[in-house]
Amino acid sequence: MIIVLKQECTPEQARSFSETLEHEYGIRVNTWVGTQSTVLGLIGDTSVIDIDSIAAQDIVESVKRVQEPYKKANRKFHPDSTVVTLPGGQKIGGGGLALIAGPCSVESEAQICAVAERVKAAGAQFLRGGAFKPRTSPYSFQGLKAEGLKLLKKAKEKTGLPFVTEIMDVRHIDLFLENGVDIFQVGARNMQNFELLKELGKIDRPILLKRGLSSTLEELLMSAEYIMSGGNDRVILCERGIRTYETYTRNTLDISAIPILKKHSHLPVVVDPSHASGIAWLVEPLALAAVAAGADGLIIEVHNNPAKALSDGAQSLTPDQFDKVAANLRAAAAAFGRTVD
Ligand code: PEP
Ligand code: MN
């Protein structure tokens, strides 16, 4: 962190400010006295320093971070890539290609079990399905809630596929744990629900953290930091498209997010081409692009009857379509030297 002090700041004020910083944050301060201004260079862990409170000091002209404000999620402090491994041995990260597939919403036992069987046969290692749904309209289908969790558990018993489902409320954490939720999804709308993130930092389950609709990559990493600073370091980042001025797609898939996140963080990165596009035929090309850009996995919506789906039918693949997409994704991953079994 670099702090430029105002021209009128006296040497005595600069010295006293440096000492306060060193004392409060356990860092070292280097001082350069120029002809126009004095510059302080802070050395050490500056991630806990509130940049706004520095900027608010009378003697401070400007302040700039030169080190990222996230530490636990930062590759600089953890050079090896994190691999999230589930008790059944399924992995996200580590060179393979994780395929997470299933309906937007769990609708019935027959539906979730049929889709689970099909995506498993196509090579998916994880099932997805929403039980508590974040819908724009309160009049839209809100999910089967606790019943949906039970049905996901049944589908897991039948197929052995661990499942990912979205948590929206801290009050549901115990219910999710009781129902054996394998991976807790934090949806785009809750990426900055800090109280939820803090509670998820205390549990022993991986968290699939989706990028907010209009969040920067640094904000996404800071949200991961919230979970990790609570003690849960099994966070999977998810790029699911951001809102832009484009109207031909539901969102705009930010392909550059993949290499950037992987450069700055050691956490695995998964891409959701379904919510990024909103259109079933666009899922395959976006998913292939994500593999080429280095994504560790994909989360794809698959429905046994998209025309009748209670949510996100337009972007859902049929099981037959998913068969073809999964085969092409595996072939693409293998072509890029990934280990795909
Ligand atoms: C979902 O996965 O069904 C979902 C609502 O995702 P997002 O939070 O990315 O919109
Ligand atoms: Mn959906």
pLDDT at 35 over 90: no
**pLDDT of 37 over the 90 cut:** no
- Asked whether 122 lines ligand 1 (CB < 6 A), one says no
Atom index in ligand 1 nearest the CA of residue 312 equals 3
| Average pLDDT value for the chain | 97
- Residue 202, SS3 per DSSP: coil
134 C-alpha vs ligand 2 centroid, how far in Å? Answer: 9
For 6-26, how does the pLDDT look when each residue is reduced to its tens digit (9 = 90+)? 999 999 999 999 999 999 999
CA neighbor of 102 nearest in space, from 152, 153, 157, 169: 152
Q: How far apart are alpha carbons 213 and 191 in whole angstroms?
A: 9
Banded pLDDT at 36 (limits 50, 70, 90): confident
**Nearest Cα residue to atom 10 of ligand 1:** 188
For the chain, the structural domain boundaries read: 2-64, 84-335
User: Taking the CB of residue 199, how many other CB atoms lie within 10 A of it?
Assistant: 18
Per-residue pLDDT reduced to its tens digit, 147-185: 999 999 999 999 999 999 999 999 999 999 999 999 999
Does the beta carbon of 208 lie inside 6 Å of ligand 1?
A: no
Distance CA 82, CA 218 (A): 18
Q: How far apart are CA 15 and CA 20, in angstroms?
A: 9
CA of 16 to the centre of ligand 2 (A): 55
Distance 135 CA to ligand 2 centre (A): 9
User: Which has the closest alpha carbon to 217: 198, 236, 199, 238?
Assistant: 238
> Residue 275: which pLDDT band, with cuts at 50, 70 and 90?
very high
* Helix axis angle, 217-229 to 257-264, nearest 10°: 40
Ligand 2 centroid–CA 88 distance in Å is 26
**N residues, the chain:** 341
Q: How far, in Å, is the centroid of ligand 1 from the Cα of 31?
A: 48
Give the number of the ligand closest to the Cα of residue 272.
Answer: 1
pLDDT of residue 339: 85
**Angle, CA of 55, 59 and 60, to the nearest 5°:** 30
84-335: CATH homologous superfamily?
Aldolase class I (3.20.20.70)
26-54 as b/e, with b when 16 or more CB fall inside 10 Å? ebebeeeeeeeebbbebeeebbebeeeeb
2-64 matches 84-335 in fold: no
Class of domain 2-64: alpha beta
- The pLDDT score that the predictor gives to residue 341 is 73
Q: 133 alpha carbon to ligand 1 midpoint, in Å?
A: 8
Cβ atoms 290, 303 nearer than 8 A: no
Question: Does ligand 1 lie within 6 Å of residue 41's CB atom?
Answer: no
CB 188 near ligand 1, within 6 Å? yes
pLDDT at residue 340, as a whole number: 85
Q: How far is the CA of 288 from the centre of ligand 2 (A)?
A: 20
Residue 134 near ligand 1, beta carbon < 6 Å: yes
Which atom, in ligand 1's list, is nearest to the CA of 299?
2
Question: Which residues are near ligand 2, the ion (C-beta closer than 5 Å)?
Answer: 104, 312
State if residue 275 touches ligand 1 by the CB under 6 angstroms criterion: yes
DSSP code string of 31-87: EEE-SS-EEEEEES--TTS-HHHHHTSTTEEEEE-SS-S-STTBGGG--SPP-EE-T
